[in-house]
Amino acid sequence: MRRACETQCTTTLDVVEVLLARENGFCFGVKKAVELTEAAAETGRPVHNLGQVVHNPKISQRLAARGVKIINDPADAAEGIVVIRAHGVPPKVREQIEQRGLECIDATCSLVLRAQRFTKQLADEGYTVILLGTPDHPEVVGLVAYAGDNYRIVETEEQWKKLPKMKRAGVVSQSTQPPWAFTALVAHVATIAQEMKVYNTVCPVTVKRQVAASELAQQVKTIIVVGGKNSANTRELVNLARMQGRDAYHIEDAKELQPSWVRGQERVGLIGGCSTPMDTLIEVKERIEALGSTEPVPA
């Protein structure tokens, strides 16, 4: 975008225009998890997050500044409060927290709780649970604990094409998987199972965010995606932009921006994952604008 120089120069400046996606900021599940942890920290008692409360390093730093510790096992907390993160946990972990006499604050997102209920229901009804997800993702670790002994985790077409024929298949998904992958998996399972039951547990909030990323990709050549490197929904936004032939860069904060990504561009798209705070996005926006503008030419 070319803009007239306001003072003391006779030429115009090249200024990069930053287009923000129409969906940004925390989703309701992340907002609740962060608020519950902050409220726990205000009690003055020792507060522990079981794993990163959400996959965003800035949020972890912010909570650490309030004295919140991250632990990986309830046994690591001697006293106080343990907050279960938005991704949920296997039931035995919740039991462990209670057995140790610790106060448990459950910040599992309501949509993840719903997916856990459906997974258990499928297992109880005798279906082989087919779970679309990343095996070591904490949400998936929690979900399979409800799937009984008869389940398969698949993440790619190559993997689900190897599923054997089966009598009864029940299909569910990790919340942040792309809807097109879930649809493709369901279509395939319909060809190998005599009976099939499907619960669509893809999170509608992440779907909206993915639609917003696609719309943004139609307007720019380059998209900056901001969010934790281990955030599944953020990585999905990067994949989506790349699938549309865009240059997509995944960063956690403004310091990682490279001038070569934005310089000379008329417009750059900007979107954050569901656990990226708005203030981080604003910092990135300002940094893109600073890196993308040319120096004023003195009169």
Interface with ligand SF4 (CB under 6 A): 27-30, 86, 109, 111-112, 175-176, 203, 205-206, 233, 274
Catalytic residue among 23, 139, 155, 236: 139
CB of 206 to ligand SF4, least distance (A): 5
Rounded to a whole number of angstroms, the distance between the first and last alpha carbons of the chain is: 21
CB of 187 to ligand SF4, least distance (A): 24
Shortest Cβ contact with ligand SF4: which residue? Answer: 29
Nearer to ligand SF4, 133 or 292 (CB): 133
Give the chain's largest Cα–Cα span.
79
Two tokens, residue 102: 């610790």
Backbone φ and ψ of 77, nearest 5°: -105, 120
Nearer to ligand SF4, 54 or 122 (CB): 54
Nearer to ligand SF4, 112 or 284 (CB): 112
Nearer to ligand SF4, 119 or 222 (CB): 119
Tell me how many degrees the CA angle 71-37-212 measures, rounded to the nearest 5. 100
Which run of H or of E encompasses 3? strand 2-4
Which value, in Å, is the radius of gyration of the alpha carbons in the chain?
A: 22
Residue 139 among the catalytic residues: yes
CB of 115 to ligand SF4, least distance (A): 8
Instruction: Specify whether the CB–CB gap between 62 and 56 falls below 8 A.
Output: no
Instruction: Specify whether the CB–CB gap between 17 and 27 falls below 8 A.
Output: no
Strand segments (E) across 1-156:
2-4, 12-14, 17-20, 47-50, 69-71, 81-84, 103-106, 128-132, 151-154
CB of 54 to ligand SF4, least distance (A): 7
CB of 20 to ligand SF4, least distance (A): 19
Two tokens, residue 196: 């099939």
- Alpha carbon distance 265, 293 (integer Å): 10
Nearer to ligand SF4, 28 or 180 (CB): 28
Catalogue the active-site residues. Answer: 139
